Amino acid sequence: MTNVNFDFSGKTALIYGGTTGIGRETAKAFAKAKANVFVTGIGAEHGKSLVDEIKKAGHAAVEYMDADVSKEADIVSAQEKAIAKFGKVDIAFNNAGISGPNGPIQDMSPETYDKLMNVNLKGIFLGMRHQIPHMLKNGGGCIVNTSSLFSEIGFPGTAVYCGTKYAVAGMTRSAAFEVARFGIRINSLAPGPVNTPLLHEMFGSEAEANRIVTRFVPAKRISHPSEQALVVLWLCSDAASFVVGHNVRVDGGGFEASAIDM
């Protein structure tokens, strides 16, 4: 990870979708920055390994629970447990997401559509539905939702996934304008290609993701999850105190046709 220092002493960060990829690196980064960290995800073994890793690094204020973000009861339970453990939630990172199969829209089943919408969009809606009232009662806070570079461009074979991420960016921006005057800042992170299982699934394998994606990216590489994590921390820090309602692209220049190697 790049050597950038933040201080979130006395703050609590609640992270949904925090056991792998960007979420995992963000949890570790918040812990390193002295925040209390409450993480949710799917897969107790991943959660345990994350907690063990954070504690081994000398940061004991971390808790984990399994949670399905498409279920409101899980969203509520995680937030209540974070508040019971650490007093309140100052920061929320709604990061849980899935890629779904890659293929033409006419080949997507209604069940696939529903699953993508329930995790990628409904999960963020449910998170904000409960995070905002808590922050209103406690003097403000910061929320970051994970969208995607695919919230601003189209890409063949990912129509439904893109639809969920366009919706995340729009919902984030609108919600941000509703609560900015109350000291709550909401933004979305729009990662370009990141070396995570989600990207590998989207393109079939890690090797295939690298082969296809780097042709389109001006920076000619795929980012590490820690690079995305640092932007999340920046958005939640005082350094970004006047950043409201933005869909922040962290994408190595995006997908540019002119950048393809011929």
Q: Which residues are catalytic?
A: 161
Q: Tell me how far apart the alpha carbons of residues 38 and 171 are, in angstroms, rounded to a whole number.
A: 24
Would you state the structure tokens that stand for residue 57, as one six-digit string? 């690094």
DSSP SS3 for 88: coil
CA distance 222 to 260: 15
Q: Measured between alpha carbons, how far is 122 from 131 in angstroms, rounded to an integer?
A: 14
Contact between residue 230 and residue 2 where contact means Cβ atoms under 8 Å apart: yes
Q: Nearest to residue 198, comparing CAs of 172, 175, 164, 232?
A: 164
3-state secondary structure of 76: helix
Task: Extract the runs of DSSP E, i.e. beta strands, from the chain.
Answer: 12-16, 36-41, 62-66, 91-94, 141-146, 184-191, 247-250
- Per the rule left: phi > 0, alpha: psi between -120 and 50, beta: everything else, 23 is alpha
Is residue 158 within 8 Å of 102, Cβ to Cβ?
yes
Tokens of 154: 């189209």
The amino acid at 186? I
Q: How far apart are CA 161 and CA 108, in angstroms?
A: 11
Residue 157 Rama label (left phi>0; alpha psi -120 to 50; beta)? left
